[in-house]
Structures are given as C-alpha cells and as structure tokens.
Chains A and B, each alone.
Chain A
Amino acid sequence: MRDVMLLLPEIGAVAAVLAVMLADLWLPKERKGTLSALAIAASVVLLALTFVPPVAQGGHAFGGSFLVDGMALLLKRAFCVTAFLVFLMSREYVAELPRGQGEFYTLGLAALTGMFLCASVNDFMSLFVSLELVTVSFFVLAAFKRDSKLSVEAGLKLLVIGSISAALLLYGIAFVYGATGTVMFGVLASDGSTFENGLRTQAAAGTLVLSPELQLGLFLIFLGLGFKTSAVPLHVWVPDVYQGAPTPVTAYLSVGSKLAGFALMFRLLEVVSRAAPVAAALTPFLALVAALTLFYGNLGAIPQTNIKRLLGYSSIGQCGYVLLGIAAASELGLAWALFYLCAYVVTNLTVFAVIIWVARATKSHDIDDYSGLARTNPLLGTALTVGLLSLAGVPPFIGLVGKFFLVGSAFQKGDTLRWLVYVGLANVVIALYYYLCVVKRIWMRDARTAVAPAVPLRMKVALAAGIVALIVGGIAPQFLDRVTASAAAGAGIVGTTAR
C-alpha cells in the first residue's frame, strides 16, 4: 500500500488524462473551453499531490525500481509548473484549433505522466518506458496542425530522430546489462560492486579498468538521452521541430521534454559517480558533447530570422550549459544544473508566452515583426526582453547566477576541464549577440504593422509575475538555491572535490 501511495502524483496524472478524455466525449462543442480549465486545475492538483506526506517523505517502491527523493520531488514540481504555465498560455490558441482540443490536453497530460515517471525511475527498463511515453505524446503534439506542412514535417522529424535515439538507448542498455547482469540503478550504484562485473581488474597493477562493453553501453545511453535534452549529435531535429510545431507545443517541448531528459541524466550521473573509473571515462566524452552543443547552438542561432528557430538553437545552447555541470559531475555541478533548469522553466515559458500572443496579432514568427514591440505593447516587449536577457545570463536576471556557477563547476574540476570553461565563457558573448539582436528590434526599430498585440488580464498577470520572478530570482537566488542544493545533496554525487 505504501508503494502505491508513493505513486500518488503519477496515479493522479493518469486520472487526469482519463478525466479530460471522458469530458471531451461528453462536452458539447461550444463548451470545450472547460477542457482547458480542467487541465489547468489538474496541474495545480498534481502539484499539491507532491506535497502530500507519504509522497513528500519519499522512499523506494516496487523492489527499488521506483524512487522518490528530493531531486525527484523537485523535478515533479517543476513539471507541474511547466504544464500549468503551458496550459495557461495556450487556452485561446487551442480553442481556435479546428479539431482535437480534447486530444491536445489529453496528450499534454500524458506527457506530464511520462515526465513524472522519468523523475522517479530507478532501473533501465522503466527508464525506457517512461521516456517513450513522453516522446510518443510529443510525436503527435508536434504534428497537431494536420493541414500545415511544417507541423507534419516536425512530427515526422521528431519521430525519425526519436526512433534512432530510442534504438541507441536500447542498444546501450543491452550492453550495460550484458556487462553487469542487472538493469537496476540501485544495485549498480551500491559502491560499484556490481560494476565489478564490468570492471576488469588488471591483475598486475591491481587497478580497475572499465570494460569496453560497459563503457560503450553508457556512451550510447547518454547519446540517446541527448535526444531529449537536445545535445549534439542528436540535436538535429530541434530547429525544424521548434519552428513547425504549434507554439504551445514548442514551449512544452523546449522545457518539459528537455527537463525529463536531464532528470534521467542526473539519475545516471549519480549512479556512475559511485564508481570512479566509470565517471572518469565519461567526463571527457560529456565535456566534448557539452562544447560541441554550446558552439552548435549559439553559432547556429546567429543567422536565424524566425524567432522559433532562433529559440530552437538557443535551447541547444542552453542545454550545453547544463551539460557543463553534468560533465563536472560534482555536487556543485548538479545543484546548479538543477537551479539552472528550474530558472529555465520560468524564463523560457515567459519568452514563449510572448511569442504566442504576438503571433496571434501579427500571424508571423519573423523576428523583424517584433520591431517596435516595446512601443506597441510595453508589457510584451519588456517580458520578452527580460526573458531573452535572462537566457543570455545578464544581471539582474536569474540566468546569470545559474550560468556563473555551472561554469564555476567546470572550473572546479581543475586543469582537465579548463578548456571547457573558456568554451563556456566564449559562448556567453556569442549568445549575448543574438539575443541582443532581438532586443534591438524590440526597442530600437519602428513597428512594421499597426496591429498592436493585445493580451487578456490573465496573461498580463502571468507575464508580470514572470518578470518579477526572473528579477527577484536573480537578485536573491538563495531561496531557489536552498531547494536545489538540498535536492542535489540528497542525490549524493560522490567525489565532489576531485581536484
């Protein structure tokens, strides 16, 4: 029974999926708007469920294959906030869709269920299943505008690259299983004892050497997860899908799906950090991926003219910064990766909220159509500016603090990762350039059209709250930091000061 109680948020999420599905069947066409309210309410209730005592206390369930700890709870709450904000900003957008309002919310909540599971999985089999639950929901969501070529293309791209990544992931899992004889993280992690099957003892030197099959398996798993987090080399879908998918889906994808991928990376990192040779073998690989991801995302963003594509590349770049913390594989790195992602949820969703509402007026995602936004609608203009500058890592916004210490965590690793620090810092300047190019249009150009985007009161409050959150979080990061630092400490990365 206790096992079931631990699963309360997941059970609630499934119930919400079913409730929306049934309500969609029963509601008459003109009252479909209730579905949106239902989905928004569901995300609030699910958030409340993560605070219910048996869940909040945490623990293992189902023979250790399901785990609720500080990190899992934090991530689940972040997922709830994500879903809440996405449903909140997409109400009108979805209401204007010709068909499938019910499906939109059903699939959105199904993806949320998958994300919940991703935060708590503790073995490779559940990892794969939960990840696929998220991915499959997004295949459909991305192709939601059936009559738009771009949207269908986006869905297809996501499907193809997603399948490749799933194949890599499974192949990697098979190798790890072959090398260690288990699929359980928990068993793997216990002071590396099970790793010993995969670690060959070199008799002469008496040192442990990583067996090639375990090494290959872990590489493949991290590559496969890179698909979700938009890390090189499985990032290629990002710009096209971001551009083609309906904007609320892009928003959801850019935050929720990415966070789910990182949740699994964090979990695996905790596992591998218990066996020093394994971690040592992974570090250069992850560092290389981080550097390539940073450069690809930030350089690729420069020539873009479509804001959704630009944010696609920017999201690749942002992923690179989190990978800095993962490559560092230290408590500092993990804590600030969590911090950065929580900040990223609010920042990126603020940006996408503006994009949804500007596009409703201008019917365009062309960056030039953001010209003069600060004059035509100061709130939207300010919110977008604040969001983009926070992504750029500029004070007094929250993005700065996260970037500062992610770079710091790579610095802490000493000479081996020093080059990565320089890469990270160089990319701050590159990123600042293209974010400022958008800011330039918002503030320093005259509006192209006379249409002034209008927003309902609900969005005004949400946008103002977003701006305040980004500023307060930047000036006083200690509140979020306490939460993320304790979550990271609970996750127990070993070998923090390996310098």
Chain B
Amino acid sequence: MDPLTLLVVVPLVAAGVVALAPARAEKAIRGVAIGAGGITLGIAAWLFRLALTEGSAGLAAFSAGIPRRAWVESVGITWSVSADGMTVAMVLLNALVLFTGCLVSSHAIRDRVKEFFVLFLALGAGVFGVFVVRDMFFMYFAFELAVVPMYLLIGCWGSPKDRDYAAMKLTLYLTAGALVALVGILMLYFRTWDFLGHPSFHLDDVIRAADAGRFDNGFQLTAFAFLFLGFAAIIPMWPMHTWSPIGHAAAPAAGSMMHAGVLMKLGSYAILRVAFPTCPAGAAHWLPWVAVIAMANIVYGGYVAMAQKDIKYVIGFSSSSHMGYTLLGIASVTVMGVSGAVFLMFAHGVMTALCFGLIGFFYDQTHTRKIEDLGGLAHQMPFVGTCFAIATMASAGVPGFANFVSEFMVMLGAWEAGYTVQAVIAVFGVVITAVYLLRALANVFFRARKERWDALADARGPFQRAPFVVLIGVLLFFGFWPRPLTRVIEAGVEPLVAKVQAAQAALDVGSADDGAHRGEDR
C-alpha cells in the first residue's frame, strides 16, 4: 500500500481496533491512538523530506508511481491519491494536530475514552482523505466523514452549556455547504462524462476536459460559484461564519484543535484543488469579489473578537478573522499570495491548535472560560502561561513565527495583484488582532494572583508538555526558516495560479475588445 493511502488507512484501522477493544482497556486505547497519530506524523515527515530533497518533480514522479485503483466502475469512481506541495503542507499540518490532539486528549478525556478515540481517529482519516485523494467522489465522501464525527465529539465531550446547539449548527452548516459544492462537482462530472464518453470523477480527467475547452465561460462561472460558495462556508467566509466560533467554543480541547486547526482549511484547500484548475475563468471572474469579502472577515471578525468575554470565542472569531487573509491570498491569484495563503493555513492551524490545547488545559480545571473570572493564571501555571503568550505573539504576527511570514506573503501578493486598498486594510487588521489577543492574554494570565485558582496544576512532565512544545517548535522553526516549506508550497501552487492568470488575461483581452468595439461604435 502506498504511503498516501496509508495516511487514510492507518487512522481508520486504529479506529476499528479501538472500537473492538474492551472499553475498560483505556491505557491500550490511548496507546493505539497515539501510536496511529505517530505513524501518520512519520509518514508526513517522510513526505516532507521527499518534497525537500527531490522537489516538485520528485513528488510528481512519486504520485505517478501510485496506480489508480478502479473502485465503482459503473460510475467511474477510482481510488487514486497524489501529492503536490500543497498536499505535503496540509498533510503535515493534519498529522501534527492529530498527534498532539491524541496526546492532549489522553489526559483530558476521562469519560467514554473508547468512543472518543474512535470518532477522533475517524475525523483524522476523513481530513487526510480530503487532502490526498484525486477523485471528486472520494473528496466529498472524506469531507463528510470529517464533519459527522465532529457532531458527536462536540455533543458528548463539549462544554455542557452550548454544545447541543453548537454541534447541530456546525453539522448542518457544513453539510449544507458540502451539498452546494456537490452541485458544482456534479456539473463537472457530467460534462466530463460527455467529453470522455465514460464516467469519471478523477480530477485529472476533469482537468483534461477543461483544457480541451469543454467548459465554456458561462458554465465555469456557475460551477465556480457553486464550488466556491459551498466550500467557503467551511473556510468560514463572512457571512457564513457563524457556526465556527460557537463550534470552537463548545468543542472539547482536541475537538477545537482539529476543527480550527485543520477542518476549516478543508474549504480553502478544496477550492484551490478543485475549483482553480477546472474553472479558471470562473475564478478570474469571481475572485475580485472575494477580495472584498475577505476584508469583512478580517475587520468584522477582528472587531467581534474584541467584544468577546469568553476566551474561546476570542480565539474563535480570531480564526475567522485570520481566514480573511487566506481568502485575500487566494483572491490575489499570484504565486506569492496563494502560497502565502497556503502557508498561512499551515501556520494558523498549528498556532490555533496550540491555543485551543492550552485553553482546554486550564478550562478542564477552572470550568470557566470567562475572561473576567480568570486572571493571574501565570502565577499558578507558568508553563501554560508562557506557551499561551508565545501562541498569542505568533497569532498577532510577531516576526519569528511562521504566521508573520505567511501573512506578510499574503500582503505582498495582494499588493502585487493590485489590491492595494485591501493590503492596507490587512495591515490594519494585524493591529486589531494584536489588541484583542494581547488584552486577552493580559486579562487571563497576568495581573494579580487570584487565590481561587491556587489549586490549579501546571502542565507537568514530558507527556503533558510535549504537545505544546512540539507545536511551538514547528511555529518557530518555520518562522525563522520558512524557505523549505514555502518552496514546496510554491511548486504546488504555481501551475494552479498560472491557469487562472491565463484565464484572467483572456478575460481582460475580452473586455478590452468589448471596450474597443464600443469605442468604434461611438
């Protein structure tokens, strides 16, 4: 079995093993889950090394060596996986979050351990699936596979106050989004069927049909709109973002880590993976609008985060604010901007997983997340406080962290693409971020010592500290030395961007012609 398939199979098999294990064998269950997370992390690291040493050509050769396996022949479903630079970055992110999530949950989850890990591993498998498959049917399948366990994870292990509502809202929103995107997928599928003479969900076939000019402009406009709107609900793009902060807030620590860390990235990933190469003209037509909406994400999300009284909501709205940068990067359609967006997806995923892991750590003891109730926690938990300070610095875009590099790349890309106003607003957005994050940090961890929190225990021992140290290490490593990752991502993004840029040029020529004709008429 090839390594990419293993990424999906290992967590699924581990989930199966855990499901069959007796519920009392909690230690063994944790061991299996952490082991599975570790194996996927190993595979992801191997993949990253391959991308580093052999470049995109090596990745392409590696992917070409993996056979397409016919799955359901009558409708053209194949099991087919591949990796490019974007895949490598996202797979690495998911493996990191899955592994640290398993570590964090191994002491945070005390009730129904077995059920928790079955669902958590299934969720991880679904996310890996979206990142590695080349078949649109399996992409949809894996996406839904990632959404549904989230319902039970939030509902069973989330914070009791708002979990019912949050879980239902998240599931229905994401499913509705996926179904809107499904219309786009079906449009592509049946056009490709006409072109090939036989059905196929394989993206390469769809792209062949697109390159052969079978997708006229009108078709692309509609298909891109469906794909983008459907997937944008997951990013989450304003105004479809309301499921996200409440979902973050209600989920258990590992659930929020997974949800904010990787689940939200599925949307932007799928847009780049499916919508860009198949509907470049649609992308060229719609993306300028997206660049405007991205501002709503950045500014509105930021201001709403400022007004929150619950620390998890602060981070939750900050996520939707940060995703505005991703949207802006994607909308810029420059290699710099789009790879910045992908890099930001990675950096934000790691940073936000760190934040939610830490919040979960003290919330399990304080049972409150209200900022005014907390305060001075650094006295009792110096380690957690330090880590949280580092995480907020990273999130606020302090140089030295991967987040700074990626956001800077997005702004450069936006400027390059001529979105100067947006670039300026984006810089201003960083200030907003700094305001609410630093304020939250100060109010939760600093200030006078509160006696009611004296019983709190800090993270002790390598086992509890490891997940946080690993995540901080990754942020710092790629903050100081981003080149390996950006090089890998750029190589993956370049062909996608080139397609849309070509379509943009064609559109411009078209409108210039129109203008010329109009001029002649006059």
**A contacts, CB < 8 Å to B:** 332, 335, 374, 378, 389, 394-396, 400-401, 404-405, 407-408, 411-412, 421-422, 425-426, 428-429, 432-433, 436, 439-440, 443-444, 476-478, 481-482, 485
Structural contact, A374 and B115, CB atoms closer than 8 A: yes
Structural contact, B171 and A432, CB atoms closer than 8 A: yes
Nearest-Cβ distance from residue A432 to partner chain B, whole angstroms = 6
Complex A-B: 15 CB contacts under 8 Å = A374-B115, A395-B126, A395-B142, A396-B145, A404-B140, A411-B183, A411-B190, A421-B183, A425-B180, A428-B175, A440-B164, A440-B167, A444-B155, A444-B163, A444-B164
Q: B480 an interface residue at 8 Å Cβ cutoff?
A: no
Which residues of B150-200 are within 8 A (CB) of A? 151-152, 155-156, 163-164, 167-168, 171-172, 175-176, 179-180, 182-183, 186, 189-190
Given contact pairs A374-B115, A443-B156, A389 touches B148 in the complex (Cβ within 8 A): yes
Closest to A429 in B: B176
Structural contact, B137 and A395, CB atoms closer than 8 A: no
Nearest-Cβ distance from residue B76 to partner chain A, whole angstroms = 11
Size category, B interface: 20 to 34
- A433 cross-chain contacts in B, Cβ below 8 A: 168, 172
Structural contact, A429 and B179, CB atoms closer than 8 A: yes
Given contact pairs A429-B175, A429-B179, A408 touches B186 in the complex (Cβ within 8 A): yes
Given contact pairs A436-B168, A440-B155, A396 touches B182 in the complex (Cβ within 8 A): no
Structural contact, B186 and A432, CB atoms closer than 8 A: no
Structural contact, A400 and B74, CB atoms closer than 8 A: no
Closest to B140 in A: A404
Structural contact, A411 and B145, CB atoms closer than 8 A: no
- B148 cross-chain contacts in A, Cβ below 8 A: 389, 394-395
Q: B513 an interface residue at 8 Å Cβ cutoff?
A: no
Give CA–CA (A444, B163) in the complex, Å. Answer: 10
Q: B75 an interface residue at 8 Å Cβ cutoff?
A: yes
- Which 8 A-B pairs have CB atoms at the shortest separation, nearest pair first? A485-B74, A425-B179, A444-B155, A478-B72, A395-B145, A411-B186, A395-B144, A395-B141
Report which of A394, A476, A478 forms a contact with B73, defined as CB distance below 8 A: A478
Give CA–CA (A439, B175) in the complex, Å. Answer: 16
- B167 cross-chain contacts in A, Cβ below 8 A: 440
For the complex, would chain A's binding face be called helix, strand, loop or mixed by DSSP majority?
A: helix
Structural contact, A335 and B145, CB atoms closer than 8 A: no
Give CA–CA (A401, B145) in the complex, Å. Answer: 13
Q: B71 an interface residue at 8 Å Cβ cutoff?
A: yes
- B126 cross-chain contacts in A, Cβ below 8 A: 395
Nearest-Cβ distance from residue A378 to partner chain B, whole angstroms = 8
Given contact pairs A400-B141, A481-B74, A432 touches B156 in the complex (Cβ within 8 A): no
Closest to A335 in B: B74
- B189 cross-chain contacts in A, Cβ below 8 A: 408
- B182 cross-chain contacts in A, Cβ below 8 A: 404, 407, 425
Give CA–CA (A440, B172) in the complex, Å. Answer: 14
Nearest-Cβ distance from residue B285 to partner chain A, whole angstroms = 21
Give CA–CA (A130, B152) in the complex, Å. Answer: 45
Give CA–CA (A485, B142) in the complex, Å. Answer: 24
- A396 cross-chain contacts in B, Cβ below 8 A: 141, 145
Structural contact, B144 and A400, CB atoms closer than 8 A: yes
Closest to B137 in A: A404
With A395-B148, A408-B189, A440-B155 known, 16 other A-B pairs at CB within 8 A are A335-B74, A395-B144, A396-B145, A404-B137, A404-B140, A408-B190, A412-B190, A421-B183, A425-B182, A429-B172, A432-B172, A436-B171, A440-B168, A443-B152, A444-B155, A444-B164
- B73 cross-chain contacts in A, Cβ below 8 A: 478
Give CA–CA (A428, B181) in the complex, Å. Answer: 14
Give CA–CA (A444, B140) in the complex, Å. Answer: 27
Closest to B125 in A: A396
Nearest-Cβ distance from residue B18 to partner chain A, whole angstroms = 13
Give CA–CA (A223, B202) in the complex, Å. Answer: 40
Residue from the set A389, A425, A485 with the largest chain B CB neighbour count within 10 Å: A425
Nearest-Cβ distance from residue A266 to partner chain B, whole angstroms = 17
Mask: chain B, 201-228; 1 = CB below 8 Å from A; 0 = not: 0000000000000000000000000000
Give CA–CA (A404, B74) in the complex, Å. Answer: 14
- A443 cross-chain contacts in B, Cβ below 8 A: 152, 155-156
